[in-house]
Amino acid sequence: MGTQEHLFTLLTLIQSRLRLPKGRLYVTFVDLKSAYDSPGHADLWDVLSNAGMGSKIINVLISLYSRANGQVKLPSGLSDKFKIRKGVLQGEPQSGLNFNIFINDLVKELDEKVPPPIQVGDAKLHLLLFVDDIALLGDTPSQIQQKINIAARFFHRRSLQVNYLGVTFSANGTFTTHTLESRVKIATAATKVWDICRKSGVPPIDTHLKLFNSLVKSTLLYASPIWGWGHEETAEKAQSSFVRKLLRLPPTTPAYFCRLESGVTKIQLQIFKATLDFWIKTIKNSTSLTFSCLKEQFKWYEYRDTNSTIYSSKYCWAAKIVEIIIKLSDLSYQSLLSHDELSPLRNVMIAKYADILHQQDLDRCRLSNFIPLYQYLRPDENRPSYLNQNLSLPIVQLYAQLRLNRFSVKLGPHYIKLETRCPLCTSHAPNNVQHV
């Protein structure tokens, strides 16, 4: 399983506890410092042998590791070769399996020494483990402390040092804190986009948007199927702010105008695409832990209209998503767990959802008092032609301001208020859009 599957499992566990009276779930996140570089080779061979790996394979690994050398790239060239005396080799396919075996005994020790594990569906869990990231799980503070103590002793014996799944979970099961933290990271990534474009002298607006998609959206949309629903508008602010700055539009320019003018899609569409792909991937393997969590979510959704707080839709990740998929796919509720029925409809559902979101922007534009005439500047569904002409950024910004700025036009360092006398000429003509 990947990080996203673990996040979904953890979210399901949290929601399963929050829907119970005084329900609690205790989680300790552990990040191992330089985990792949830490195992001693002698310890590694012992662990592999105890796990049942054949002596011939171990001898091959010992021979391979004994011949392994490393070099450091310096400004003056490569350093002298040196022996690699600990850690699993990185870049060869066996290393991941070796490390997993090296750390797997932690699960056995937890099974032997602590209270009953956490249960979700048919699965019983003490922890979630992804490479060197670990989340210990417990129903009570004493349980989680026991597991911390056992894990600490295990790490010490295996010469592993403790230094988080990358998404912040709040005590109330929401992701408000994570969303706010992401905005700080997004601002940093957006600054990198401006620096790259300024230093390279890149004029086309498309290049700015492609860099935004690769550097900023990857940060913004990390694990968005898990946390994004309910926080779409907050996530959208990052994209809208970038487009406003790119086109030198006022901070008050509505986000739907920014999307219509620049041709970018709503962040909500990206969240839906990622969620749909995650859903389809999950239902492909009906024996996985993630699928068990999804079935639990389905059960909560199915009984959402009952008076019992146990089935409250407030703590049901699937509630909104199921309704959207049913509407777009025309499938029955029961068919949403069928990979053969849902998967072929993926592209159709994404196209339908894109049309729905775009139509919402057009409707808001037509009803808006911000720039009532803007709807007549868009005779078709495509973005404005000036954005397709490879114009320099200042020219693109001037076009955009003339179309979308009611108050002023910025020309280089000049800030020209509209409906006043023009400061750039001596004609004393009214300083309106037509004159500029």
Task: Give the pLDDT band of residue 285 (cuts 50, 70, 90).
Answer: very high
Question: Would you give the end-to-end CA distance of the chain in angstroms?
Answer: 58
Distance of CA 342 to the CA centre of its chain: 23
Residue 205 within a domain: no
Whole-model pTM? 0.69
Residue 130 located in a structural domain? yes
Give the residue with greater pLDDT, 72 vs 359: 359
In a domain, residue 294? The reply is no
Task: Identify the residue with better confidence: 2 or 108.
Answer: 108
Alpha helix ranges (H) inside 204-254: 205-211, 218-220, 224-227, 232-247
Task: Identify whether 148 is part of a domain.
Answer: yes
With pLDDT > 90 as the criterion, what percentage of the chain qualifies? 15
User: What is the three-class DSSP state of 69?
Assistant: strand
Between 82 and 331, the higher pLDDT residue: 331
Q: Which of 129, 131, 96, 231 is nearest to 175 (CA)?
A: 231
Q: Round to whole Å and give the CA distance between 400 and 244.
A: 10
- The reply to whether 293 falls in a domain is no
Rounded to an integer, what distance in angstroms lies between the CA atom of residue 79 and that of residue 353? 55
Mean pLDDT of 25-44: 84
- Chain centroid to CA 313: how far? 23
For residue 313, being part of any structural domain is answered with no
Least confident of 22-36, 120-134, 177-191: 177-191
Higher-scoring residue by pLDDT: 133, 378? 133
182-241 pLDDT, tens digit each: 777 777 777 777 777 766 666 567 777 887 777 767 777 888 888 888 888 887 888 888
| Residue, of 202 and 315, whose pLDDT is higher | 315
Which helix (H) or strand (E) segment holds residue 162: the answer is strand 161-162
Give me the half-sphere count of Cα atoms (radius 13 Å) on the Cβ side of residue 19. Answer: 25
Asked whether the predicted pLDDT for residue 255 surpasses 60, the reply is yes
Say if 370 falls within a structural domain: no
Residue-number span of the structural domain to which 95 is assigned = 3-164
pLDDT attached to residue 424: 54
Residue 52 resides in a domain: yes
Beta strand 414-417 with 26-33: parallel, antiparallel or unpaired?
unpaired
Give how many domains the chain has, as a whole number: 1
Q: What is the tens place of the pLDDT at every residue in 397-415?
A: 888 888 887 666 777 666 6
Per-residue pLDDT averaged across 153-181, rounded? 75
Task: Please report, for the domain that includes residue 143, its CATH number.
Answer: 3.30.70
Residues 88-111 pLDDT 10s: 887 777 887 888 888 888 888 888
pLDDT in tens, 48-101: 898 898 999 999 988 888 888 888 887 778 888 888 888 888 777 788 788 888
In this predicted structure, what is the pLDDT of residue 436? 46
Residue 102's CB is within 10 A of a number of other CB atoms, namely 22
